[in-house]
Chain A
Amino acid sequence: MSVLSSSIARKVAMALSALFLIIFLIIHLAVNLTSLFSAEVFNEASHFMGTNPLIQFAMQPVLIFGVVFHFVMGFVLELRNKGARNVKYAKFNGAASSSWASRNMIISGAVILAFLVIHFLDFWIPEINTKYVLGDMTGMHNGEFRYFEELQHKFVPMWRVAAYVVAFVLLGMHLMHGFQSAFQSMGFNNKYSSCVKTFGKCYSIVIPLGFIIVALFHHFNH
């Protein structure tokens, strides 16, 4: 990890993994959104994503690495940064100079991590179990693709939808700072930065909102 021995290199690595995850979110949402208007398209897309070897054996490990790296690095940095101030201020008015979201990436990040645990237990682990432990690569259940039904089933309980909403609101806040921060970390700050910032803000609202709509839609329409 000597490449990551400097503070700037670590920040750039955080930014790169973040941008990767930002792109992943778009794809994930795109697939989810299909479920709003067509169970069939959703099933097709899910089956493709779940069985395509390139996605399963090349993209998926990269994604997992990206997620794990982003979290681990985030916590490592947070610990180091906490250590850089060994005596706390009696009064610290952080709100005067920076946003809550920017100061509390670790909190929004931790909530997202907690959500991911639920999410993995809900979807990813059963999926892996079905495909690679039980060896059922058909994606079928009672003669039909099972994906849409499983999706709807998961959003029946109120608590899960609520958790979903909370997590995505925090994801939105995480992105609100993280999006433009990633560009800054990579040294991008010029006359186009205001465009990046505006786009980042739109992204941070639209993407989490999309996920929330999907969850609410299936909660109320099953």
Chain B
Amino acid sequence: MNLTLKIWRQKGPQEKGQMVEYKVTDISEHMSFLEMMDILNEGLVAKGEVPIAFDHDCREGICGMCSLHINGEPHGPDRGITTCQLHMRTFKDGDTIYIEPWRAKAFPVIKDLIVDRMAFERIQQAGGYISVNTSGNTQDANAIPIPKLDADLSMDAAACIGCGACVASCKNSSAMLFVSAKVSQFALLPQGKVEAADRVRNMVKQMDDEGFGNCTNTGACEVECPKGISLENIARMNREYLKASII
């Protein structure tokens, strides 16, 4: 198939960017979206132009590196997948595809389609951990039985890959789904309960300081999340936060 691509080009963090139009031809429907981008880049290199920079790494939907806003949606129109798992069979011959970076004040563009997600790092550093040192003498892994439901819910929250699609899809650029996934993972486990109050306070404070917007419960993040992280996590974080603030 033949496609028209409108892609955001921006040379550097301080430069002004703009949408630039490209054409690609003879694209197979079995290609992944990023393989289509590879072909476009191969063509640009052949012409001596600078290829389009985009983040990607594992190309199997788990590292969370890829981050394209495709036709108005993070990771494109398909559900439950990352950009690297999006296949060209989702599109039709002759389509025009808009490709943009994540847009949020807290995610400044580094180059073209690559954004800086260090805000997520700082949020994690503010409390996204259990304070336990490496030791060969921690108690036995089976010493505390954990109800299967709690363990499963914790795993569901922990499945977050930190890609930032929640922020990108949110009309408010809110990072609540991301932060709540980490808060929930630990809040559901006995090991994480000890520091739960400090954790949620500190992580929320950092989230606010980074300049993310407020959650208005539109639910877009849950729909666009490639890992299906549930809004229940946001409710849980709200509860945890209230508990931590009141007590």
Which residues of A are at the interface with B, using a C-beta cutoff of 8 A? 5-12, 77, 80-81, 83-94, 96-99, 102-103, 105, 177, 180-181, 184-190
Contacts and interface: CB of A to CB of B under 8 A. Distances in A.
Contacts of A105: 216
B219 interface: yes
Contacts of A98: 171, 218-220, 223
Nearest to B240: A187
A81 B172 contact: yes
Q: Which of B105, B169, B172, B237 gathers the greatest number of chain A CB atoms within 10 Å?
A: B172
A185 B212 CA distance: 17
B207 interface: yes
Given A7-B207, A87-B103, A177 B224 contact: no
A190 B236 CA distance: 9
Given A8-B238, A97-B224, A181-B216, A189 B103 contact: no
Size category of the B interface is: 35 or more
Interface in B187-226: 204-205, 207-208, 211-220, 223-224
Contacts of B212: 7, 84
Contacts of B208: 5-7
B235 A97 contact: no
B9 interface: no
Given A81-B173, A84-B211, A105-B216, A91 B71 contact: yes
B215 A11 contact: yes
B77 interface: yes
A217 to B, nearest CB: 35
14 contacts: A5-B208, A7-B213, A7-B215, A77-B216, A81-B216, A84-B104, A85-B173, A85-B213, A90-B19, A90-B100, A97-B223, A99-B218, A181-B216, A184-B238
A93 B172 CA distance: 14
Given A7-B207, A77-B214, A93-B71, 4 more contacts: A81-B213, A98-B218, A99-B218, A184-B231
Contact of A92 (B72, B205, B217): B72
Given A10-B214, A11-B214, A187-B236, A85 B204 contact: no
Contacts of B104: 84-85
A92 B69 CA distance: 9
B234 interface: yes
A94 B105 CA distance: 18
Contacts of B234: 184, 189
